Structure 1
């Protein structure tokens, strides 16, 4: 009987150890953090334009930086890309460094010697374009926060937002946004707006943090 009890105890020991061992940390998506920060960055660019701290050319340069970040986010949230099923801590840290660099660039441009005229036609056009970009980023962030966007959908929408910011950067690179450029940007934004609405209301849900 003692041998049987000893055997039973030794058989249970590995199970007890397994129960006591800490579970592996789940892979964190981090998606909610960097989509919220996208909104904050766009708000600061918009505020800089409206206050005259940013010229049209400076805002265009900053939009190129946001386009780069959106492309990075698209790659790591793509389930078939580098990010796999989620975003790893290493990938999230890389994006955070890029966002920190963009934040420093915004701060530098808003406090350098150059000033813009927020009432000029070009600045007003850029302000309108940045405002629409901000609205789109806000809807994506809200979709992530409420679980209405999957990582796959965030990947696709981030790629589209990258194109939007790239278009803004190209239009304002010479310091002036003309009416034709703005119309082209608006047509693209309208398409992206419909894509965001569709992705948020198609019934797919995001899982994880």
Structure 2
């Protein structure tokens, strides 16, 4: 009979541990001195660092490019904004010995919140990348896949991606205009022109993915 109370107490302790509320931003209550069975409240999940937030945005953009949820124009616009934030962050760090002040971090977080909303909006609007089941469409889709991989891996910076996608946007616009003027098809000369443009874009993608510029990956500290 002496073992029964211990088992009951143990079961009660387990039940208490499983019934803790979800982590919140409120400080955990302090344990009272002399308490024999204090249940620790799980620590709140740390906020992402500046670098982690930037990397997360790039991952979301890469996924949108890969899936076709983001058009070349939308991607170029998003990456132009990311490039501007990156430039501002770099300038702030250079002026403060490589660090960011609390006010600067708050400013960057506010800017990333706006970009985050724009990413969501662009990925869920009616605009999607349409390539078509043809050689021209397949070539354009392949370029987007290569760009998405470069974004995800960090081989392409936000600025480089914006330039590449602006190039794709121009090509897509020309293809749409040519098709509209010719009953939805492309003439042999138009196909040749598109292929020439994509050859140039392909070389540009390769060059930018293999130059010295890379998108910095998340570090332990902001």
| 2:61 paired with 1:45 | yes
User: Which residue in 1 is equivalent to 2:80?
Assistant: 64
**1:127 aligned residue:** 145
- Tell whether 2:100 aligns with 1:87: yes
Partner in structure 2 of residue 105 of structure 1? 118
1:1-209, aligned counterparts within 5 Å?
Answer: 33-78=49-94, 81=95, 83-117=96-130, 120=137, 121-136=139-154, 161-174=157-170, 176=172, 178-192=198-212
CA-CA distance at 1:107 after TM superposition: 0.4
For 2:36, the equivalent position in structure 1 comes to none
- The Cα shift of 1:165 comes to 3.2
Q: By how many angstroms is 1:96 displaced?
A: 0.9
What residue in structure 2 maps to residue 18 of structure 1? none
CA contact (8 A) 2:164 2:204 kept: no
TM-score, length basis structure 2: 0.54
> How many residues were matched structurally?
145
Q: Alpha carbons of 1:77 and 1:166: their partners in 2 closer, same or farther (altered >3 Å)? A: farther
Summarize deviations over 1:43-84 as a string: whole Å, max 9, x none: 211222232222222222212122112212211222xx3x33
Tell me by how many angstroms 1:110 deviates: 0.6
Structure exhibiting the larger radius of gyration computed from Cα positions: 2
Pairwise CA RMSD of aligned residues?
Answer: 3.2
Taking structure 1 as the reference length, the TM-score comes to: 0.57
Tell me the CA shift for residue 126 of structure 1. Answer: 2.4
Higher share in helix: 1
State the alpha-carbon separation in 2 of the partners of residues 129 and 52 from structure 1. 12
Q: How far off its partner does 1:180 sit?
A: 1.0
Which deviations, in whole Å up to 9, do the C-alpha atoms of 1:170-196 show, x marking residues without a partner? 323426382312322321331226x78
Compute the displacement of 1:166 (Å). Answer: 3.7
Structure 2 stretches lacking a partner, 5+ long: 1-47, 173-196
Task: Indicate how the Cα distance of structure 1 residues 56 and 100 shifts in structure 2: closer, same or farther if over 3 A, else same.
Answer: same
Name the CA shift for 1:47/1:118 in 2 (closer, same or farther; >3 Å): farther
